[in-house]
Amino acid sequence: MLPVIEKLLIVQDRDTKLRALHKDLERVPVEEQNCRDRMSDDEKKVAAAKAALQLVEVAIKNLELDIGTRRQSITRMKTQQYETRKNEEYTALGHEIVRYEKEISQFEDQEIDLLDKAETAKKALNEADARRKSTQILVNEDLAKLAERKTNVESQIAEISAERAALASVVEPEVLDAYDRISQRKGEAVVALEDGQCKGCHMKVVKSTVVEAKAEKILAHCENCGRLIYYAG
Ligand SMILES: [Zn+2]
């Protein structure tokens, strides 16, 4: 094997590792977003449960206001009854008082129903909140793991990049240039030639290329894909 091919294969090994590490790094924000999405589902459910409870509480408050105003009216009408000397007015006020009392008792029945509903809504809210909290714990753990992975991958990238730079510095600049150009387009730039087939594009090369690669005098290229090839049998 040509010494330059040996050197390039080591550079290529680091490049392959770097590509995988960069891919891994790109996945980190995607996975972080997935974690946050899981959180936002639970948060939406808590918000919906809160809104449902508030609705019931407002209805109860309104009923209590209605009951209060009717009670005040009854008190007022009882005073009027006490003060009036007209029998008709006394009776009319009496009817009104009965009507209001009936309404109050209806409102109170409704209030009992609503209090039950409020109880159920509170339970649902507590459950949604508990779920959100346990999801938060899991999500926090996952986010911490992702942050750790990111740091890890970044330091590996830094380490291997430094190695790669040192390894590449001993390759002649024009060869390295050619390698880099092919590598940017195809990924693997140096591949084996086996049974007359380029292992990069899996095409047969012409006889003269096989001879050239086997001679190991100059760098041979696959005429189909342009990759650098070395004779491997
Ligand atoms: Zn090829």
Taking residues 159-185, what's their average pLDDT?
Answer: 96
Taking residues 2-26, what's their average pLDDT?
Answer: 97
Domain ranges in the chain? Answer: 23-170, 172-233
Dump pLDDT digits (tens) for 100-148. 999 999 999 999 999 999 999 999 999 999 999 999 999 999 999 999 9
Which class is domain 23-170? mainly alpha
Q: 96: which residues sit within 8 A by CB, 6+ positions away?
A: 73, 77
CB 137 within 8 A of CB 42: no
C-alpha 201 to ligand 1 mean position (Å): 4
C-alpha 196 to ligand 1 mean position (Å): 10
**pLDDT > 90? residue 223:** yes
Please report the pLDDT score of residue 126 as a whole number. 98
C-alpha 74 to ligand 1 mean position (Å): 99
**pLDDT > 90? residue 233:** no
CB 129 within 8 A of CB 46: yes
DSSP string, 73-102: HHHHHHHHHHH---HHHHHHHHHHHHHHHH
Q: What's the mean pLDDT when you consider all of the chain?
A: 96
C-alpha 185 to ligand 1 mean position (Å): 13
Dump pLDDT digits (tens) for 43-102. 999 999 999 999 999 999 999 999 999 999 999 999 999 999 999 999 999 999 999 999
Please report the pLDDT score of residue 198 as a whole number. 97
Instruction: Say which amino acid occupies 174.
Output: E
Tokens of 122: 């509170």
CB 38 within 8 A of CB 124: no
Please report the pLDDT score of residue 139 as a whole number. 95
Q: CA-CA distances (angstroms) from residue 82 to 56, 68, 86? A: 39, 21, 10
- Indicate the pTM of the whole model: 0.73
Please report the pLDDT score of residue 81 as a whole number. 94
C-alpha 221 to ligand 1 mean position (Å): 8
Query: Tokens 């942050």 label which residue?
Result: 147
Q: For 196, phi and psi rounded to 5 degrees?
A: 75, 5
C-alpha 171 to ligand 1 mean position (Å): 22
C-alpha 207 to ligand 1 mean position (Å): 14
Question: Residue 226, by phi and psi: left (phi above 0), alpha (psi -120 to 50) or beta?
Answer: left
